[in-house]
Amino acid sequence: MLKIFVDTEFTDFIDTHLISIGLASASGEEFYAEVPYPEQVCSPFVRMVVIPMLGMMANAACSAEELRGRLLSWLHLVRPRGADIEICFDYQTDWDLFADALDYRVPNWCRPRLVANEINELLRYEFHQKNSLPEHHALYDAQANRYAFRERPSTDS
């Protein structure tokens, strides 16, 4: 089953609105988009760290409505014919905002998978350092999670 790692940046932990979303598939394809957000509800951290990294990737900006179409098209393109895919996230809000971006009409072949316990934090750090990429950028963090993911053996008998 193809794994796709998702990461999001958002306004605040209390008043949560999507700012950007990044997806990195285990087979190498990547997706990134930025959407309009209510700046007045952004936390100081988001204002200082996340917002300065926006606007650097060509064609990333789109409306929330356009995001749904872009995201669905990309998922259809990377999905192996007839197969389910796993949408891997390390933080519940990433899944929630992914589902929201799809207007809560997530295709039934997209299976959510919490992988927080399968992300090697040292490898995440190594990815950012060796590629000189900052943390708290949705695409870079999705790439880092893809790089640092280490599947745990099944405990099924």
**pLDDT tens digits along 111-129:** 999 999 999 999 999 999 9
Reduced to 3 states (helix: H, G, I; strand: E, B; else coil), residue 81 is coil
For domain 2-148, give the CATH superfamily: Ribonuclease H-like superfamily/Ribonuclease H (3.30.420.10)
Domain residue ranges in the chain: 2-148
pLDDT at 151: 84
Lowest mean pLDDT among 53-57, 82-86, 149-153: 149-153
CB distance 81 to 107 below 8 Å: no
pTM score: 0.94
pLDDT at 153: 72
pLDDT at 156 over 70: no
pLDDT at 154: 66
Strand order in 110-114's β-sheet?
30-34, 18-25, 2-10, 85-89, 110-114
